[in-house]
Structure 1
Amino acid sequence: MTTFAPEFTGWSKTARLFREITITEKLDGTNAGLHVSEDGQVVAQSRNRIITPDADNYGFARWAADHADELAHILGPGLHFGEWWGSGIQRRYGLTDRPAGRDRHEVDRRFSLFNVDRWYREDEVVESMRSRADQSLLVDAVDAVPVLYRGVFSEDAITEAMTDLRTGGSYAAPGFMNPEGICVYHSQSRTVYKITLDNNDAGKWEAAA
């Protein structure tokens, strides 16, 4: 009989709960990403596939192709994940198509980046994003998801963030009173958790208040 000799597999180090978290507004659009090469080429993707203007996802690939040079300049090389949201996508956030000339309309959609550690400091957009945009109007459509809290893990902070959204509406789209919820990034476990204001999580965070 062959001797059973498995390879040793250790238990991974357990992350400590009371470490820094970042709470951001969870936007209800469609997951998107931009691959930017060292020489400035830009390729778009959805949650599940590479997309093109001919095989698109809510116009994200077309938008990326139309603004490829500016996006490469603003974002720099790498893979940049975010949410593509606005007119005609999921909650829409009160954004609608805008007149852009005779018989034409401009679709009001925005790309909000998830990597707030790069794009935010003290809850403000890093000035390098705007300075690198060189006065381009594109920067109005590229931002980062709003930061609601950064600090040590706290159930009170989570509850407060949810309450603020429920009573004050979206931070990303001021005046829109039906936001989706929050994302909580735990720095030590490097994991993102979501809590929504809909029936999936209703009562759970309110009970903790």
Structure 2
Amino acid sequence: MTAEVISIVHEDKYAPTFEAWPKTPRLNKTIHISEKVDGTNGAIIITPDGRVAAQSRNRLITPGKATDNYGFASWVHQNAGVLRDVLGVGRHFGEWAGKGIQRGYDLEERTFFLFNPRWTEEVKEVDRLEVIPQLGVYGRFDSCFIEDTLQHLLDTGSHVDGGKTAPEGVIVFHSASKQVYKVLAEHDDIPKSVAEAMRPDLRLVG
């Protein structure tokens, strides 16, 4: 009986299963273009039971010289109550930017820029919380729209600080595929590690 049970378990474990090919999104659908903010990646975590935490690109972070990431966790901790009330349960990703981080920008204080534009109005209730600058929405995918938007951004300067800093590039959200793509103003055709070696002052952090 034992051998028979073991045999059945193994048969179930390795038995072929059906998996359908996923639906293929149409390329010529709406795209949203925003500015790529040059800071350090992070997220505000709000759990169903009301706890508020912070993470960097690679790990959970907490306030403290050795455990924080450019003061992001400290800011989240200090504003936990209002962040919980405004954003609600979820993992809210964005870019922590300002003095001493990458481009730095001409900002009085470091600021967290949420990636999701749905929070455009709500962020006004929280100090040093913004949404990444929105540059345009186009009814279909066209690389010309992206190139023109990037060129206009280069001509006018970063929207983060009113044009005082050269922008890093743009982010393209494709509505049908729900995918995000980036187009850099410089070195867009080479790997990030190579670009960082060429510009060590702009090395990715966090």
TM tier, shorter chain?
0.7 to 0.9
Task: Please tell me whether Structure 1 or Structure 2 has the larger radius of gyration of its CA atoms.
Answer: 2
Moved over 4 A (4+): none
**Structure 1 counterpart of 2:203:** none
159, 164, 168: which is aligned to 2:152? Answer: 164
Of the candidates 126, 142, 145, which is equivalent to residue 132 of structure 2?
Answer: 145
- Work out the CA distance in 2 between the residues paired with 1:28 and 1:72: 26
RMSD between superposed Cα atoms in Å: 2.1
Q: Which runs of 5+ in 1 are unaligned?
A: 97-107, 120-124, 203-209
SS at match of 2:25: coil
Q: Which residue of 1 aligns with 2:173?
A: 185
Residues 106 and 165, structure 2, Cα contact 8 Å, conserved in 1: no
Q: Which has the higher strand share?
A: 1
- Please report how far the alpha carbon of residue 10 of structure 1 lies from its aligned counterpart in structure 2 after TM superposition: 2.9
2:116 aligned residue:
115
Measure the CA separation in 2 of the matches of 1:188 and 1:10: 19
Q: Which residue identity does 1:144 align to in structure 2? A: V
Q: Does 1:33 align with 2:34?
A: no
3-state SS in 2 of match to 1:72: helix
Gap regions ≥5 residues in structure 2: 1-13, 191-206
The aligned counterpart of 1:42 is: 52
Contact 2:123 2:129 in 1 (8 A): no
Give the AA of the match of 1:31.
N
Moved more, 181-190 or 37-46: 37-46
Following superposition, the deviation at residue 175 of structure 1 comes to 2.5
Letter in 2 for 1:195: V
TM-score by length of 1: 0.77
Question: Deviation at 1:156?
Answer: 2.2
Letter in 1 for 2:74: R
Identity, % of aligned pairs?
Answer: 45
What corresponds to 1:77 in structure 2? 89
Q: How many residues are treated as equivalent by the alignment?
A: 175
Q: Which digits, 9 at most, give the CA deviation of each residue in 1:15-74, with x for residues without a partner?
A: 101111110100110100011134542100011111001311111001111111122122
Match of 1:23 in 2: 33
For 1:157 and 1:48, the matched residues in 2 are separated by 33
Deviates more, 1:76-85 or 1:35-44: 35-44
Asked whether the equivalents of residues 166 and 177 of structure 1 are also in contact (C-alpha less than 8 Å), the reply is no
Counterpart position of 1:196: 184
Q: d(CA) in 1 for partners of 2:16 and 2:189?
A: 42
